[in-house]
Protein backbone atom coordinates (compact mmCIF):
# COMPACT_ATOMS: atom_id res chain seq x y z
CA UNK A 1 0.00 0.00 0.00
CA UNK A 2 1.49 3.34 -1.00
CA UNK A 3 1.62 5.63 1.98
CA UNK A 4 2.46 9.26 1.76
CA UNK A 5 5.20 10.52 4.04
CA UNK A 6 2.84 13.16 5.34
CA UNK A 7 0.49 10.51 6.62
CA UNK A 8 3.34 8.73 8.30
CA UNK A 9 4.47 11.89 9.90
CA UNK A 10 1.14 12.57 11.32
CA UNK A 11 0.63 9.04 12.48
CA UNK A 12 4.01 8.89 14.13
CA UNK A 13 3.49 12.08 16.04
CA UNK A 14 0.16 10.71 17.07
CA UNK A 15 1.82 7.47 18.31
CA UNK A 16 4.36 9.32 20.40
CA UNK A 17 1.72 11.42 21.93
CA UNK A 18 -0.42 8.47 22.79
CA UNK A 19 2.23 6.10 24.12
CA UNK A 20 4.35 3.62 22.19
CA UNK A 21 3.44 0.70 24.46
CA UNK A 22 -0.24 1.22 23.88
CA UNK A 23 0.29 1.39 20.15
CA UNK A 24 2.21 -1.88 20.24
CA UNK A 25 -0.48 -3.55 22.33
CA UNK A 26 -3.10 -2.32 19.94
CA UNK A 27 -1.05 -3.60 17.01
CA UNK A 28 -0.71 -7.08 18.53
CA UNK A 29 -4.39 -7.13 19.25
CA UNK A 30 -5.30 -6.08 15.72
CA UNK A 31 -2.97 -8.55 14.03
CA UNK A 32 -2.99 -11.32 16.63
CA UNK A 33 -2.97 -14.09 14.05
CA UNK A 34 0.15 -12.72 12.35
CA UNK A 35 1.90 -12.37 15.69
CA UNK A 36 0.87 -15.88 16.74
CA UNK A 37 2.32 -17.27 13.52
CA UNK A 38 5.59 -15.44 14.13
CA UNK A 39 5.75 -16.62 17.72
CA UNK A 40 4.94 -20.23 16.81
CA UNK A 41 7.74 -20.28 14.27
CA UNK A 42 10.28 -19.05 16.81
CA UNK A 43 9.09 -21.38 19.53
CA UNK A 44 9.23 -24.32 17.13
CA UNK A 45 12.81 -23.34 16.31
CA UNK A 46 13.58 -23.80 19.98
CA UNK A 47 13.18 -20.30 21.30
CA UNK A 48 12.42 -19.97 25.00
CA UNK A 49 10.37 -16.83 24.44
CA UNK A 50 9.44 -14.48 21.58
CA UNK A 51 8.08 -11.02 22.27
CA UNK A 52 8.11 -7.26 21.92
CA UNK A 53 9.83 -4.90 24.28
CA UNK A 54 9.56 -1.19 24.64
CA UNK A 55 12.14 0.81 26.55
CA UNK A 56 13.35 -2.37 28.30
CA UNK A 57 9.89 -3.48 29.39
CA UNK A 58 8.14 -6.45 27.86
CA UNK A 59 4.99 -5.43 26.09
CA UNK A 60 3.92 -8.88 25.04
CA UNK A 61 5.54 -12.29 24.81
CA UNK A 62 4.93 -15.91 23.85
CA UNK A 63 4.55 -17.86 26.01
CA UNK A 64 2.82 -15.26 28.03
CA UNK A 65 4.56 -15.61 31.35
CA UNK A 66 6.58 -13.35 33.49
CA UNK A 67 10.09 -14.06 32.28
CA UNK A 68 13.14 -11.96 32.60
CA UNK A 69 13.31 -9.93 29.47
CA UNK A 70 16.94 -9.19 30.09
CA UNK A 71 17.73 -12.78 29.27
CA UNK A 72 17.08 -12.17 25.63
CA UNK A 73 19.71 -13.66 23.39
CA UNK A 74 18.89 -11.83 20.18
CA UNK A 75 16.80 -8.71 19.54
CA UNK A 76 15.99 -6.50 16.60
CA UNK A 77 14.53 -2.95 16.71
CA UNK A 78 11.26 -2.27 14.90
CA UNK A 79 12.36 0.63 12.80
CA UNK A 80 9.90 2.74 10.98
CA UNK A 81 10.69 3.97 7.49
CA UNK A 82 11.19 7.48 8.81
CA UNK A 83 13.87 6.20 11.17
CA UNK A 84 12.09 6.29 14.47
CA UNK A 85 11.89 3.20 16.64
CA UNK A 86 8.79 1.45 17.83
CA UNK A 87 10.16 -0.98 20.45
CA UNK A 88 12.00 -4.13 19.49
CA UNK A 89 11.46 -7.85 18.88
CA UNK A 90 13.34 -10.26 21.12
CA UNK A 91 13.94 -13.99 21.18
CA UNK A 92 15.54 -15.95 24.05
CA UNK A 93 17.63 -19.09 24.08
CA UNK A 94 18.65 -18.80 20.43
CA UNK A 95 21.75 -17.10 19.16
CA UNK A 96 22.40 -18.46 15.69
CA UNK A 97 23.55 -15.46 13.58
CA UNK A 98 21.42 -16.78 10.69
CA UNK A 99 18.38 -16.35 12.91
CA UNK A 100 19.31 -12.73 13.61
CA UNK A 101 18.59 -12.08 9.94
CA UNK A 102 15.21 -13.82 10.23
CA UNK A 103 14.33 -11.65 13.27
CA UNK A 104 15.24 -8.54 11.32
CA UNK A 105 12.83 -9.61 8.58
CA UNK A 106 10.13 -10.11 11.22
CA UNK A 107 10.82 -6.65 12.69
CA UNK A 108 10.43 -5.13 9.24
CA UNK A 109 7.19 -7.02 8.87
CA UNK A 110 5.90 -5.62 12.17
CA UNK A 111 6.98 -2.13 11.13
CA UNK A 112 4.92 -2.52 7.96
CA UNK A 113 1.93 -3.72 9.98
CA UNK A 114 2.33 -0.66 12.16
CA UNK A 115 2.36 1.58 9.09
CA UNK A 116 -0.71 -0.12 7.71
CA UNK A 117 -2.47 0.23 11.00
CA UNK A 118 -1.41 3.84 11.13
CA UNK A 119 -2.96 4.57 7.77
CA UNK A 120 -6.17 2.82 8.69
CA UNK A 121 -6.21 4.78 11.87
CA UNK A 122 -5.67 7.97 9.92
CA UNK A 123 -8.44 7.09 7.47
CA UNK A 124 -10.79 6.36 10.32
CA UNK A 125 -9.83 9.64 11.89
CA UNK A 126 -10.42 11.44 8.59
CA UNK A 127 -13.77 9.77 8.26
CA UNK A 128 -14.75 10.97 11.69
CA UNK A 129 -13.43 14.41 10.79
CA UNK A 130 -15.28 14.56 7.51
CA UNK A 131 -18.40 13.41 9.27
CA UNK A 132 -17.92 16.25 11.73
CA UNK A 133 -17.32 18.57 8.79
CA UNK A 134 -20.44 17.33 7.05
CA UNK A 135 -22.48 18.01 10.16
CA UNK A 136 -20.89 21.45 10.40
CA UNK A 137 -21.47 22.01 6.68
CA UNK A 138 -25.10 21.07 7.09
CA UNK A 139 -25.33 23.54 9.96
CA UNK A 140 -23.69 26.16 7.80
CA UNK A 141 -26.09 25.63 4.92
CA UNK A 142 -29.01 25.63 7.28
CA UNK A 143 -27.90 28.82 8.97
CA UNK A 144 -27.22 30.47 5.61
CA UNK A 145 -30.75 29.93 4.36
CA UNK A 146 -32.26 32.91 6.07
CA UNK A 147 -29.43 35.19 4.93
CA UNK A 148 -30.66 37.44 2.19
CA UNK A 149 -28.15 40.23 1.83
CA UNK A 150 -24.86 39.56 0.07
CA UNK A 151 -22.91 41.24 2.88
CA UNK A 152 -24.48 38.93 5.41
CA UNK A 153 -23.78 35.84 3.33
CA UNK A 154 -20.10 36.66 2.84
CA UNK A 155 -19.47 37.63 6.47
CA UNK A 156 -21.49 34.88 8.07
CA UNK A 157 -20.13 32.12 5.84
CA UNK A 158 -16.55 33.17 6.54
CA UNK A 159 -17.29 33.20 10.24
CA UNK A 160 -18.81 29.73 10.18
CA UNK A 161 -16.17 28.23 7.90
CA UNK A 162 -13.18 29.14 10.05
CA UNK A 163 -13.81 26.67 12.93
CA UNK A 164 -14.52 23.89 10.40
CA UNK A 165 -10.87 23.86 9.39
CA UNK A 166 -7.61 23.93 11.23
CA UNK A 167 -6.42 27.10 9.53
CA UNK A 168 -5.57 30.24 11.46
CA UNK A 169 -7.42 32.46 8.99
CA UNK A 170 -10.44 32.01 6.77
CA UNK A 171 -11.35 34.76 4.33
CA UNK A 172 -13.75 35.57 1.56
CA UNK A 173 -13.45 38.50 -0.83
CA UNK A 174 -16.21 39.43 -3.26
CA UNK A 175 -15.71 41.98 -6.03
CA UNK A 176 -18.90 42.45 -8.03
CA UNK A 177 -19.05 45.02 -10.82
CA UNK A 178 -20.43 48.42 -9.77
CA UNK A 179 -20.43 47.50 -6.11
CA UNK A 180 -17.98 48.05 -3.28
CA UNK A 181 -15.82 45.00 -2.54
CA UNK A 182 -16.85 42.88 0.39
CA UNK A 183 -13.97 41.54 2.51
CA UNK A 184 -14.58 39.10 5.33
CA UNK A 185 -11.91 37.53 7.57
CA UNK A 186 -12.22 35.21 10.48
CA UNK A 187 -9.42 34.19 12.84
CA UNK A 188 -6.06 35.94 12.63
CA UNK A 189 -6.49 38.83 10.29
CA UNK A 190 -4.26 39.32 7.26
CA UNK A 191 -2.70 42.58 6.15
CA UNK A 192 -4.50 44.35 3.34
CA UNK A 193 -1.68 43.94 0.79
CA UNK A 194 -1.31 40.25 1.61
CA UNK A 195 -5.01 39.70 1.14
CA UNK A 196 -5.09 41.61 -2.09
CA UNK A 197 -2.10 39.64 -3.47
CA UNK A 198 -3.84 36.45 -2.43
CA UNK A 199 -7.03 37.43 -4.25
CA UNK A 200 -5.12 38.56 -7.31
CA UNK A 201 -3.06 35.35 -7.50
CA UNK A 202 -6.10 33.16 -6.91
CA UNK A 203 -8.27 34.80 -9.55
CA UNK A 204 -5.59 33.95 -12.10
CA UNK A 205 -6.07 30.24 -11.38
CA UNK A 206 -8.65 28.03 -12.96
CA UNK A 207 -8.75 25.50 -10.10
CA UNK A 208 -7.19 26.80 -6.88
CA UNK A 209 -4.12 28.35 -5.33
CA UNK A 210 -2.25 25.91 -3.10
CA UNK A 211 0.91 26.90 -1.24
CA UNK A 212 2.25 24.17 0.99
CA UNK A 213 5.83 25.31 0.55
CA UNK A 214 6.85 28.94 0.83
CA UNK A 215 9.31 28.49 -2.03
CA UNK A 216 6.33 28.25 -4.41
CA UNK A 217 4.68 31.44 -3.27
CA UNK A 218 3.56 33.52 -6.28
CA UNK A 219 4.07 36.94 -4.66
CA UNK A 220 6.64 38.37 -2.29
CA UNK A 221 4.11 39.49 0.24
CA UNK A 222 2.87 35.93 0.49
CA UNK A 223 6.28 34.65 1.66
CA UNK A 224 5.29 35.28 5.24
CA UNK A 225 2.46 32.78 4.96
CA UNK A 226 3.16 29.15 5.77
CA UNK A 227 0.37 27.53 3.85
CA UNK A 228 -2.46 28.82 1.66
CA UNK A 229 -5.46 27.22 0.05
CA UNK A 230 -7.68 29.61 -1.95
CA UNK A 231 -10.42 28.90 -4.46
CA UNK A 232 -11.57 31.34 -7.15
CA UNK A 233 -15.35 31.61 -7.45
CA UNK A 234 -17.33 32.55 -10.55
CA UNK A 235 -20.45 34.58 -9.88
CA UNK A 236 -22.72 34.65 -12.94
CA UNK A 237 -19.90 33.37 -15.09
CA UNK A 238 -17.38 36.04 -14.00
CA UNK A 239 -14.52 35.18 -11.66
CA UNK A 240 -15.25 37.68 -8.95
CA UNK A 241 -14.70 36.11 -5.55
CA UNK A 242 -12.16 34.13 -3.57
CA UNK A 243 -12.62 31.84 -0.60
CA UNK A 244 -9.44 30.86 1.23
CA UNK A 245 -7.68 29.38 4.23
CA UNK A 246 -4.29 30.51 5.47
CA UNK A 247 -1.72 28.87 7.76
CA UNK A 248 -3.01 25.40 8.40
CA UNK A 249 -2.14 24.28 11.95
CA UNK A 250 -2.23 20.63 10.84
CA UNK A 251 0.58 20.82 8.29
CA UNK A 252 0.10 21.06 4.55
CA UNK A 253 -3.40 21.35 3.04
CA UNK A 254 -4.53 17.91 1.88
CA UNK A 255 -6.99 16.71 -0.68
CA UNK A 256 -10.00 16.29 1.69
CA UNK A 257 -9.66 19.89 2.80
CA UNK A 258 -9.47 21.07 -0.81
CA UNK A 259 -12.60 19.10 -1.66
CA UNK A 260 -14.50 20.40 1.32
CA UNK A 261 -13.50 24.00 0.73
CA UNK A 262 -14.53 23.66 -2.90
CA UNK A 263 -17.92 22.31 -1.87
CA UNK A 264 -18.34 25.29 0.43
CA UNK A 265 -17.27 27.69 -2.31
CA UNK A 266 -19.87 26.15 -4.66
CA UNK A 267 -22.45 26.61 -1.97
CA UNK A 268 -21.37 30.22 -1.40
CA UNK A 269 -21.62 30.91 -5.15
CA UNK A 270 -25.14 29.57 -5.30
CA UNK A 271 -26.15 31.58 -2.21
CA UNK A 272 -24.64 34.78 -3.59
CA UNK A 273 -26.26 34.24 -6.98
CA UNK A 274 -29.68 33.67 -5.43
CA UNK A 275 -29.18 36.77 -3.29
CA UNK A 276 -28.39 38.77 -6.44
CA UNK A 277 -31.49 37.36 -8.10
CA UNK A 278 -33.56 38.20 -5.05
CA UNK A 279 -32.18 41.74 -5.03
CA UNK A 280 -33.01 42.17 -8.72
CA UNK A 281 -36.46 40.76 -8.13
CA UNK A 282 -37.02 43.13 -5.21
CA UNK A 283 -35.83 46.02 -7.31
CA UNK A 284 -38.17 45.02 -10.09
CA UNK A 285 -41.05 44.72 -7.66
CA UNK A 286 -40.32 48.18 -6.30
CA UNK A 287 -40.24 49.56 -9.83
CA UNK A 288 -43.41 47.72 -10.72
CA UNK A 289 -45.16 49.07 -7.68
CA UNK A 290 -43.99 52.56 -8.51
CA UNK A 291 -45.00 52.13 -12.12
CA UNK A 292 -48.36 50.78 -11.06
CA UNK A 293 -48.91 53.75 -8.78
CA UNK A 294 -47.95 56.07 -11.61
CA UNK A 295 -50.26 54.25 -14.00
CA UNK A 296 -53.12 54.51 -11.52
CA UNK A 297 -52.41 58.19 -11.20
CA UNK A 298 -52.26 58.52 -14.99
CA UNK A 299 -55.59 56.68 -15.22
CA UNK A 300 -57.16 59.16 -12.79
CA UNK A 301 -55.69 62.09 -14.68
CA UNK A 302 -56.93 60.73 -17.98
CA UNK A 303 -60.40 60.05 -16.67
CA UNK A 304 -60.55 63.57 -15.27
CA UNK A 305 -59.75 64.94 -18.74
CA UNK A 306 -63.14 63.64 -19.81
CA UNK A 307 -66.17 65.60 -18.61
CA UNK A 308 -67.42 64.44 -15.24
CA UNK A 309 -70.94 65.81 -15.48
CA UNK A 310 -73.46 65.37 -18.24
CA UNK A 311 -74.39 68.48 -20.20
CA UNK A 312 -77.86 69.94 -19.97
CA UNK A 313 -79.17 70.54 -23.47
CA UNK A 314 -82.83 71.37 -23.65
CA UNK A 315 -83.96 68.54 -25.92
CA UNK A 316 -81.13 65.95 -25.66
CA UNK A 317 -80.45 62.98 -23.44
CA UNK A 318 -76.79 62.10 -23.24
CA UNK A 319 -74.89 59.16 -21.73
CA UNK A 320 -71.20 58.33 -21.83
CA UNK A 321 -68.88 55.51 -20.84
CA UNK A 322 -65.11 55.03 -21.08
CA UNK A 323 -63.02 52.00 -20.16
CA UNK A 324 -59.38 51.73 -21.28
CA UNK A 325 -58.00 48.22 -21.98
CA UNK A 326 -54.90 49.07 -19.95
CA UNK A 327 -54.66 51.61 -17.12
CA UNK A 328 -54.63 54.34 -19.70
CA UNK A 329 -55.62 54.36 -23.35
CA UNK A 330 -56.04 56.33 -26.53
CA UNK A 331 -59.84 56.73 -26.54
CA UNK A 332 -61.42 59.99 -25.47
CA UNK A 333 -64.60 61.96 -25.59
CA UNK A 334 -65.25 65.56 -24.78
CA UNK A 335 -68.12 68.01 -24.90
CA UNK A 336 -69.17 71.43 -23.77
CA UNK A 337 -71.93 73.86 -24.46
CA UNK A 338 -70.95 76.64 -26.78
CA UNK A 339 -73.01 79.82 -26.98
CA UNK A 340 -76.23 78.78 -25.28
CA UNK A 341 -77.69 76.00 -27.36
CA UNK A 342 -74.73 74.91 -29.45
CA UNK A 343 -73.44 71.61 -28.16
CA UNK A 344 -69.90 70.65 -29.13
CA UNK A 345 -68.98 66.99 -28.78
CA UNK A 346 -66.24 64.77 -30.07
CA UNK A 347 -65.09 61.19 -29.65
CA UNK A 348 -61.71 59.94 -30.84
CA UNK A 349 -59.56 56.85 -30.92
CA UNK A 350 -55.79 57.19 -31.16
CA UNK A 351 -54.22 54.22 -32.96
CA UNK A 352 -52.41 52.00 -30.47
CA UNK A 353 -52.86 51.51 -26.77
CA UNK A 354 -51.28 52.37 -23.45
CA UNK A 355 -49.12 55.30 -22.44
CA UNK A 356 -48.09 56.47 -25.92
CA UNK A 357 -51.72 56.61 -27.05
CA UNK A 358 -52.71 58.30 -23.78
CA UNK A 359 -50.19 61.11 -24.24
CA UNK A 360 -51.46 61.86 -27.74
CA UNK A 361 -55.02 61.55 -26.52
CA UNK A 362 -54.47 64.27 -23.89
CA UNK A 363 -52.83 66.49 -26.48
CA UNK A 364 -55.58 65.95 -29.08
CA UNK A 365 -58.42 66.47 -26.62
CA UNK A 366 -56.96 69.76 -25.41
CA UNK A 367 -56.08 71.06 -28.87
CA UNK A 368 -59.61 70.20 -30.05
CA UNK A 369 -61.22 71.91 -27.07
CA UNK A 370 -59.12 75.08 -27.36
CA UNK A 371 -59.68 75.29 -31.11
CA UNK A 372 -63.45 74.81 -30.72
CA UNK A 373 -63.57 77.56 -28.09
CA UNK A 374 -61.34 80.03 -29.88
CA UNK A 375 -62.65 79.87 -33.43
CA UNK A 376 -64.97 82.74 -34.27
CA UNK A 377 -67.28 80.58 -36.26
CA UNK A 378 -66.54 77.06 -35.18
CA UNK A 379 -67.56 74.22 -37.45
CA UNK A 380 -66.45 70.59 -37.21
CA UNK A 381 -64.53 70.96 -40.47
CA UNK A 382 -62.76 74.16 -39.35
CA UNK A 383 -61.88 72.64 -35.98
CA UNK A 384 -60.37 69.51 -37.50
CA UNK A 385 -58.44 71.44 -40.15
CA UNK A 386 -56.83 73.54 -37.43
CA UNK A 387 -56.10 70.52 -35.29
CA UNK A 388 -54.50 68.72 -38.24
CA UNK A 389 -52.19 71.69 -38.76
CA UNK A 390 -51.23 71.65 -35.09
CA UNK A 391 -50.79 67.95 -34.56
CA UNK A 392 -49.81 66.36 -37.88
CA UNK A 393 -46.06 66.52 -37.25
CA UNK A 394 -46.32 65.12 -33.73
CA UNK A 395 -48.50 62.23 -34.85
CA UNK A 396 -46.28 61.50 -37.83
CA UNK A 397 -43.17 61.48 -35.68
CA UNK A 398 -44.52 58.44 -33.86
CA UNK A 399 -46.38 56.95 -36.84
CA UNK A 400 -49.82 57.26 -35.27
CA UNK A 401 -53.19 58.72 -36.22
CA UNK A 402 -56.60 59.32 -34.73
CA UNK A 403 -60.07 58.40 -35.92
CA UNK A 404 -62.46 61.07 -34.79
CA UNK A 405 -66.09 62.07 -34.86
CA UNK A 406 -66.79 65.73 -34.15
CA UNK A 407 -70.23 67.31 -34.07
CA UNK A 408 -71.85 70.67 -33.36
CA UNK A 409 -75.52 70.36 -32.48
CA UNK A 410 -77.83 73.32 -32.62
CA UNK A 411 -80.60 72.61 -30.13
CA UNK A 412 -82.81 75.30 -31.61
CA UNK A 413 -82.90 73.88 -35.12
CA UNK A 414 -82.12 70.23 -34.26
CA UNK A 415 -79.38 70.37 -36.87
CA UNK A 416 -76.20 68.37 -36.33
CA UNK A 417 -73.15 69.35 -38.37
CA UNK A 418 -70.45 66.68 -38.20
CA UNK A 419 -67.23 65.39 -39.59
CA UNK A 420 -66.48 61.71 -39.32
CA UNK A 421 -62.72 61.29 -39.72
CA UNK A 422 -62.41 57.57 -40.44
CA UNK A 423 -64.30 56.67 -37.32
CA UNK A 424 -66.52 53.65 -36.79
CA UNK A 425 -68.90 52.62 -35.48
CA UNK A 426 -71.16 55.66 -35.73
CA UNK A 427 -74.74 54.43 -35.54
CA UNK A 428 -77.79 56.47 -36.42
CA UNK A 429 -81.36 55.42 -35.95
CA UNK A 430 -84.42 57.40 -36.85
CA UNK A 431 -87.32 57.03 -34.46
CA UNK A 432 -89.24 53.99 -35.73
CA UNK A 433 -86.55 53.15 -38.30
CA UNK A 434 -83.56 50.78 -38.32
CA UNK A 435 -80.14 51.43 -36.93
CA UNK A 436 -77.45 51.88 -39.57
CA UNK A 437 -73.81 52.86 -39.74
CA UNK A 438 -72.84 56.35 -40.77
CA UNK A 439 -69.91 56.39 -43.18
CA UNK A 440 -66.83 58.43 -42.62
CA UNK A 441 -66.74 61.77 -44.39
CA UNK A 442 -62.97 61.59 -44.65
CA UNK A 443 -59.90 59.68 -43.46
CA UNK A 444 -58.73 59.84 -39.88
CA UNK A 445 -56.97 62.81 -38.35
CA UNK A 446 -53.26 63.26 -39.00
CA UNK A 447 -52.91 60.51 -41.61
CA UNK A 448 -52.29 63.19 -44.24
CA UNK A 449 -50.98 66.72 -43.73
CA UNK A 450 -54.34 68.09 -44.92
CA UNK A 451 -57.55 66.76 -43.54
CA UNK A 452 -59.52 65.65 -46.59
CA UNK A 453 -62.84 65.26 -44.79
CA UNK A 454 -65.99 67.09 -45.78
CA UNK A 455 -68.68 68.20 -43.38
CA UNK A 456 -72.11 66.60 -43.40
CA UNK A 457 -75.39 67.30 -41.68
CA UNK A 458 -78.10 65.36 -39.93
CA UNK A 459 -81.36 66.57 -38.55
CA UNK A 460 -82.21 65.05 -35.20
CA UNK A 461 -85.95 64.63 -34.84
CA UNK A 462 -87.63 63.56 -31.56
CA UNK A 463 -86.76 59.93 -30.72
CA UNK A 464 -83.78 59.86 -33.10
CA UNK A 465 -80.69 58.19 -31.75
CA UNK A 466 -77.00 58.79 -32.47
CA UNK A 467 -74.38 56.49 -31.00
CA UNK A 468 -70.68 57.11 -31.44
CA UNK A 469 -68.55 54.29 -30.06
CA UNK A 470 -64.98 53.06 -30.51
CA UNK A 471 -63.97 49.81 -32.18
CA UNK A 472 -63.45 48.24 -28.74
CA UNK A 473 -67.17 47.43 -29.06
CA UNK A 474 -67.50 45.86 -32.51
CA UNK A 475 -64.04 44.27 -32.39
CA UNK A 476 -64.51 42.65 -28.96
CA UNK A 477 -63.88 38.89 -29.26
CA UNK A 478 -65.29 35.86 -27.52
CA UNK A 479 -63.40 32.70 -26.53
CA UNK A 480 -63.81 31.26 -30.03
CA UNK A 481 -62.08 34.30 -31.55
CA UNK A 482 -65.37 35.52 -33.05
CA UNK A 483 -65.95 39.30 -33.18
CA UNK A 484 -68.97 41.07 -31.76
CA UNK A 485 -69.12 42.94 -35.06
CA UNK A 486 -71.43 45.63 -36.44
CA UNK A 487 -74.48 43.46 -37.06
CA UNK A 488 -74.91 42.46 -33.43
CA UNK A 489 -74.38 46.06 -32.43
CA UNK A 490 -77.04 47.36 -34.85
CA UNK A 491 -79.55 44.67 -33.83
CA UNK A 492 -78.99 45.51 -30.20
CA UNK A 493 -79.48 49.24 -30.83
CA UNK A 494 -82.78 48.50 -32.57
CA UNK A 495 -83.86 46.38 -29.61
CA UNK A 496 -82.88 49.04 -27.07
CA UNK A 497 -84.00 52.12 -29.00
CA UNK A 498 -87.03 52.87 -26.81
CA UNK A 499 -84.97 53.05 -23.66
CA UNK A 500 -83.19 56.04 -22.14
CA UNK A 501 -79.76 57.07 -23.41
CA UNK A 502 -78.21 55.90 -20.14
CA UNK A 503 -79.90 52.49 -20.34
CA UNK A 504 -78.83 52.05 -23.94
CA UNK A 505 -75.20 52.83 -23.04
CA UNK A 506 -75.29 50.50 -20.01
CA UNK A 507 -76.87 47.63 -21.96
CA UNK A 508 -74.41 47.92 -24.85
CA UNK A 509 -71.46 47.85 -22.45
CA UNK A 510 -72.92 44.86 -20.59
CA UNK A 511 -73.75 42.94 -23.77
CA UNK A 512 -70.20 43.31 -25.11
CA UNK A 513 -68.72 42.38 -21.72
CA UNK A 514 -70.90 39.25 -21.60
CA UNK A 515 -69.97 38.34 -25.15
CA UNK A 516 -66.26 38.51 -24.45
CA UNK A 517 -66.49 37.11 -20.93
CA UNK A 518 -63.25 35.51 -19.79
CA UNK A 519 -61.27 37.21 -22.55
CA UNK A 520 -58.99 40.09 -21.73
CA UNK A 521 -60.32 43.43 -22.98
CA UNK A 522 -58.22 43.95 -26.13
CA UNK A 523 -59.04 47.54 -26.87
CA UNK A 524 -60.29 50.65 -25.16
CA UNK A 525 -64.08 51.00 -25.08
CA UNK A 526 -65.66 54.44 -25.22
CA UNK A 527 -69.17 55.44 -26.16
CA UNK A 528 -71.45 58.47 -26.37
CA UNK A 529 -75.18 57.92 -26.72
CA UNK A 530 -77.23 60.95 -27.80
CA UNK A 531 -80.97 60.75 -27.99
CA UNK A 532 -83.40 63.52 -28.84
CA UNK A 533 -86.23 63.54 -26.37
CA UNK A 534 -89.41 62.02 -27.74
CA UNK A 535 -91.67 64.40 -25.83
CA UNK A 536 -90.59 68.00 -25.83
Partner 1 sequence: MSNLQITEHTKRISVLTFTDRLDAFNAPDARQQITDQMEAGAVNFVVDISQVTFMDSAGIAVLVNLLKKVTQANGAMKLVRPAHASAMRLLRMTKFDQVFKMFGTVDEAVNAF
244 binds partner 1 (CB under 8 A): no
Choices 8-16, 130-138, 290-298, 444-452 (CB under 8 A): range interacting with partner 1: 444-452
Residue choice 246, 358, 368, 400 for contact with partner 1 (CB under 8 A): 400
- Rounded Cα distance between 232 and 201, Å, is 9
Residue choice 186, 323, 351, 526 for contact with partner 1 (CB under 8 A): 351
Look at residues 123, 240, 129, 130 and name the one whose alpha carbon lies nearest to residue 179: 240
Choices 26-34, 53-61, 243-251, 346-354 (CB under 8 A): range interacting with partner 1: 346-354
Nearest distance from residue 343's CB to partner 1, in Å?
25
Q: Which CB, 38 or 476, lies closer to partner 1?
A: 476
Nearest distance from residue 358's CB to partner 1, in Å?
16
Cα-only R_g, the chain: 48
Residue 408 CB partners (closer than 8 Å, separation 6+): 338, 342, 343, 344, 378, 379, 380, 416, 417, 418
Beta strands in 1-134 (DSSP E): 50-54, 57-62, 74-79, 85-91
What x-and-dash track marks residues 461-500 binding partner 1 by CB under 8 A? Answer: ----------x---x-------------------------
Nearest distance from residue 331's CB to partner 1, in Å?
11
Look at residues 372, 401, 376, 406 and name the one whose alpha carbon lies nearest to residue 386: 372
- Rounded Cα distance between 151 and 352, Å, is 46
Q: Which CB, 38 or 357, lies closer to partner 1?
A: 357
Scan residues 420-439 and list those touching partner 1 (CB under 8 A).
Answer: 421-424, 437, 439
Residue 241 CB partners (closer than 8 Å, separation 6+): 172, 173, 174, 175, 232, 233, 235, 268, 269, 272
- Rounded Cα distance between 357 and 293, Å, is 19
Q: Taking CA 414 as the corner, what is the angle to CA 411 and CA 420, rounded to the nearest 5 degrees?
A: 100
Q: In angstroms, what CA-CA distances link 166 with 129, 163, 215, 254, 261?
A: 11, 7, 22, 12, 12
Q: Which CB, 118 or 425, lies closer to partner 1?
A: 425
- Rounded Cα distance between 403 and 6, Å, is 88
Scan residues 494-533 and list those touching partner 1 (CB under 8 A).
Answer: 522-523
Q: Which CB, 88 or 524, lies closer to partner 1?
A: 524
What x-and-dash track marks residues 205-234 binding partner 1 by CB under 8 A? Answer: ------------------------------
Choices 66-74, 89-97, 159-167, 417-425 (CB under 8 A): range interacting with partner 1: 417-425
Binding interface with partner 1 (CB under 8 A): 349, 351-352, 396, 399-401, 403, 421-424, 437, 439-444, 447-448, 452-453, 471, 475, 522-523
Amino acid sequence: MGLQPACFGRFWEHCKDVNTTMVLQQLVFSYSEDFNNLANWWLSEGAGRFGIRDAGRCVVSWPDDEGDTALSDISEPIIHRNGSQLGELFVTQLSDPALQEKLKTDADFVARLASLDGELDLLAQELVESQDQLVALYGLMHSAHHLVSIDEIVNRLTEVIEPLFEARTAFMVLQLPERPSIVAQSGESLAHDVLSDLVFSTLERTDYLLINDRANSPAESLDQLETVLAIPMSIRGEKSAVLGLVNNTAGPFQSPTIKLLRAISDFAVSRIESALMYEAHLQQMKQQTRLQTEMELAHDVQMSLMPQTLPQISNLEIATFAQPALSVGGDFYDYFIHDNDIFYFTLGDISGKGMSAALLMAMTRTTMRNTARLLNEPSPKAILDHVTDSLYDDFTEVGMFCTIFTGLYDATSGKLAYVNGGHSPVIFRRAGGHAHLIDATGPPLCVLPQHLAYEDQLHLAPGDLLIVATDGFNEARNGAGEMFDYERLLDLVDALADQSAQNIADRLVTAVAQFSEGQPQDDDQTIIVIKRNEHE
